[in-house]
């Protein structure tokens, strides 16, 4: 599933391409036709990401909320438009480009109060300048749940998925099963700062790289990682492979139905 950096890249792209001018909105597949007709031809006034949610604002006409889920994608091309291929839920045609949305988990037209309510249910997003990490700290520092679970809970922190969760815990040398309330304030501050920095890099590069310069393939003399889930990482999907720092085989287990990866030596049980 795309993590927050992907949604922030989309919001940035859609600001550049579509905001500030009328947009043709349609639903070739038909499932979003009624809503598309309401906003078709109106000016997109803003495009924003909150965690894994994308919002297109059309003034008083409403707000399109998109959640990509596991399978959703936007594809974009320069004009002219071509015939739709496959199940296109929403098509946007702007001044210079057009984009098709396929397979989203959610694509719906919301009123401002509905959008505000949805955003209010999300925890702070490390990629947003208006994020208040104190809100997340208050939830985490009162919880007996393992940190690995809390970091994936979008109502605690918005935008972190399986890769950033595993990697930031590794980088901070934190036992993934440590209960939230056992985390010190100092370590929380370091974790949040690291997430912000890592995710900003993700927005910039469009992929998740988490290794320090000294652990890059060319420095260590190892082959680059080959994985459709992106860049150079310490533990994510590296089960049984040697830890890049200590050589211990990376461990894997399931937590709340999702795979969790960690190094038992670098992240010892506390
Ligand atoms: Zn290790």
Shared domain check, 256 and 142: yes
Ligand 1 centre and the CA of 92: distance in Å?
47
Shared domain check, 149 and 181: yes
Shared domain check, 186 and 77: no
Query: Residues whose CB is under 5 A from ligand 1 (ion)?
Result: 243, 245-246, 248, 263, 265-266
Task: Inform me whether the pLDDT recorded for 230 exceeds 90.
Answer: no
Ligand 1 centre and the CA of 160: distance in Å?
22
Would you state the pLDDT for residue 270?
83
pLDDT digits (tens, 9 = 90+) for 89-126: 999 999 999 999 999 999 999 999 999 999 999 999 99
pLDDT digits (tens, 9 = 90+) for 44-87: 999 999 999 999 999 999 999 999 999 999 999 999 999 999 99
Shared domain check, 243 and 145: yes
228 within some domain: yes
Shared domain check, 153 and 115: no
Residue 49 · residue 66 · CB < 8 Å: no
Shared domain check, 250 and 213: yes
pLDDT digits (tens, 9 = 90+) for 168-208: 999 999 999 999 999 999 999 999 999 999 999 999 999 99
Domain boundary, last residue among 120, 146, 181? 120
CB atoms within 10 A of CB 16: 13
Shared domain check, 229 and 174: yes
Ligand 1 centre and the CA of 267: distance in Å?
7
126 within some domain: no
Domain boundary, last residue among 99, 120, 141? 120
What CATH number does residue 199 fall under? 1.10.8.50
Would you state the pLDDT for residue 162?
95
Shared domain check, 226 and 177: yes
168 within some domain: yes
Task: Inform me whether the pLDDT recorded for 229 exceeds 80.
Answer: no
Active centre residues (catalytic): 2-3, 52, 258
Ligand 1 centre and the CA of 127: distance in Å?
28
269 within some domain: no
- Give the confidence band of 227 by pLDDT, cuts at 50, 70, 90: confident
- Whether residue 252 has a cis bond before it, omega within 30° of 0: no
pTM score of the predicted model? 0.94
Shared domain check, 93 and 203: no
| Separation between Cα atoms, residue 56 and residue 76, nearest integer Å | 16
Would you state the pLDDT for residue 14?
98
pLDDT digits (tens, 9 = 90+) for 20-32: 999 999 999 999 9
**Which residue range forms the structural domain that includes residue 234?**
133-262
Would you state the pLDDT for residue 194?
98
Shared domain check, 106 and 157: no
Ligand 1 centre and the CA of 262: distance in Å?
8
The β-bridge partners of 102 are 73, 88
Order the strands of the 46-50 sheet from edge to edge.
46-50, 53-57, 63-67, 106-110
245 within some domain: yes
Would you state the pLDDT for residue 117?
98
Would you state the pLDDT for residue 1?
80
Ligand 1 centre and the CA of 246: distance in Å?
4
- Give the confidence band of 228 by pLDDT, cuts at 50, 70, 90: confident
Alpha helices, H only, the chain: 4-18, 33-39, 112-120, 133-140, 147-152, 162-171, 185-205, 217-220
Structural domains counted in the chain: 2
Would you state the pLDDT for residue 72?
96
Shared domain check, 26 and 63: yes
Shared domain check, 141 and 115: no
Ligand 1 centre and the CA of 6: distance in Å?
28
Domain boundary, last residue among 87, 120, 153? 120
């Amino acid at each position: 599933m795309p993590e927050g950096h992907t949604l922030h890249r989309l919001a940035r792209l859609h600001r550049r391409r579509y905001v500030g001018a009328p947009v043709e909105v349609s639903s070739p597949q038909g499932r979003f036709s009624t809503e598309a007709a309401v906003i078709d031809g109106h000016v997109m006034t803003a495009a924003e990401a909150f965690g894994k949610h994308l919002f297109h604002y059309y003034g008083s006409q409403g707000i399109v909320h998109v959640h990509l889920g596991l399978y959703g994608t936007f594809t974009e091309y320069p004009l002219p438009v071509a015939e739709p291929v496959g199940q296109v839920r929403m098509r946007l045609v702007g001044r210079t480009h057009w984009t098709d949305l396929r397979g989203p988990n959610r694509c719906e037209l919301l009123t401002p109060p509905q959008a505000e309510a949805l955003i209010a249910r999300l925890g702070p997003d490390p990629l947003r300048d208006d994020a208040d990490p104190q809100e997340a700290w208050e939830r985490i520092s009162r919880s007996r749940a393992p940190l690995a679970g809390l970091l994936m809970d979008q109502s605690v922190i918005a935008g972190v998925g399986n890769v950033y969760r595993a990697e930031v815990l590794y980088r901070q040398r934190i036992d993934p099963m440590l209960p939230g309330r056992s985390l010190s304030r100092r370590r929380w501050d370091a974790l949040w700062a690291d997430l912000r920095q890592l995710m900003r890099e993700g927005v910039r590069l469009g992929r998740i790289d988490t290794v320090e310069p000294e652990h890059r393939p060319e420095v260590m003399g190892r082959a680059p990682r080959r994985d459709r889930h992106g860049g150079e990482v310490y533990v994510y999907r590296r089960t049984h492979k040697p830890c890049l720092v200590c050589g211990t085989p990376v461990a894997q287990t399931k937590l709340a139905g999702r795979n969790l990866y960690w190094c038992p030596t670098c992240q010892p049980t506390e």
